[in-house]
Amino acid sequence: MILHLDMDYFFAQVEERENPRFKGEPLVVGSDPKGGEARGVVSTANYEARKFGISSGMAISKAYKLCPKAIYLPVNKNLYSRVSESIFRIMETVSDKCERVSFDEAYLDLSRVAKNYSQAEKIGRDLKEMILRKEKLTSSVGIGKNKMIAKIASEEDKPDGLTVVRPGETIGFISKKSVRDIPGIGPKTEKELEHILGKSDLKVKDLKRLSMDQLVNDFGKRGADIYKKARGKDDSRVKTKTETKSLGRETTFDKNTTDPEVIISTFKSLSKEVVDLAREEERNIKTIVTVCRFEGFDSYTKQISFKPKKPTRDLVYGEGVKLLLDLLTQKARPVRLLGVRVIFVKSKNR
């Protein structure tokens, strides 16, 4: 369950907040138009200015032609970046699985925070409200079963929108979208797809006529990606800035024990818990650490490292229990606490 949040006309909205008399007037943030002669571009425009056809990335001279009477303001990056930081901090109070994508956009993984989509919707509403109270700015939120769906959903009802796409609604939702709404399909790919399918104004559902083979043939690896996305699938995960380095579970027995059956079965269920959590990270592990505290409170750990491997029960329990048995035979004393921990490899794509 993923939430995507995108601030509405971000730079311009911050400027309106700073100067409420700009509200309701067309406002453009970007380089100085210098009476229409300048060469820079538009960073963003508020919705009044967009009505004149002004958009992000457009030459500022063109914007000036479209609407000379608009208010033109320089980009105040320091200000937007302070606001941005504050917004992300708010988001991180909801879930520490937060991926900042740009100044005004981030994903939250809600899987462990919300039990169902109604709860996720409530979280989305609360988040918008918190940002409005703290920063006096509106945002748009999308919630869906993966990052792509969440992102497209946040665009659905801009400004000040909240759109929830439940898993069963995914296909219906995405099918009627334009192919350009799919992240990764730009104007060039759109043209090529139009050519292949012999039709313009392509909708996502039109893409289903293309087989995996054909797409891979024409677009390589990206083709496979398009095939999946056209079916509402996207398995990329939310990448947090500070990723989990290791993860473990431990338990203290009510009464110190020497019973091998109790010790082993407890260790087995701890291993299972650790593996289930580690799987969610979708990263390989390189080390397993077994912890044992004996009567009298002295703790011992033993660890084993190996080439990066998927965290499976066989691996974590299998290797972990060997370490545990070593510790138990060395010490031969009643056990007070047991634990197991896995250490992840660093992931590359950050």
Active-site residue flag, 85: no
Which one from 16, 48, 105, 281 is the annotated catalytic residue? 105
The 3 state secondary structure assigned to 271-285 is HHHHHHHHHHHCCCE
Q: Does 6 bind Mg ion (CB under 5 A)?
A: yes
Side chain identity at 219, as an amino acid letter? F
Structure tokens at 146: 């993966």
Find residue 29's DSSP bridge partners: 44, 73
Q: Which of 329, 322, 293 is nearest to 306 (CA)?
A: 322
Residue 230, contacted partner among Mg ion, ligand TTP, none, CB below 5-8 A by kind: none
- How is 119-157 classified by DSSP, letter by letter? HHHHHHHHHHHHHHHHH---EEEEEESSHHHHHHHHHHT
* Cβ distance to Mg ion smaller for residue 8 or 121: 8
Q: Does 104 bind Mg ion (CB under 5 A)?
A: yes
* Cβ distance to ligand TTP smaller for residue 7 or 148: 7
Q: Does 10 bind ligand TTP (CB under 6 A)?
A: yes
Closest distance between ligand TTP and the C-beta of residue 176, in Å? 20
* Cβ distance to Mg ion smaller for residue 99 or 281: 99
Alpha-carbon span 45 to 58, nearest angstrom: 10
Side chain identity at 31, as an amino acid letter? S
Residue 44, contacted partner among Mg ion, ligand TTP, none, CB below 5-8 A by kind: ligand TTP
**Contact string (CB under 6 A) for ligand TTP, positions 156-185, x = contact:** --xx--------------------------
Q: Does 43 bind ligand TTP (CB under 6 A)?
A: yes
* Cβ distance to ligand TTP smaller for residue 105 or 225: 105
Cα 146 to the center of its chain, rounded Å: 9
Q: Does 15 bind Mg ion (CB under 5 A)?
A: no
Instruction: Give Cα separations from 244 to 10, 114, 343 (angstroms).
Output: 31, 20, 9
What residues make contact with Mg ion under the rule CB under 5 A? 6-7, 10, 104
Catalytic residue numbers read 105
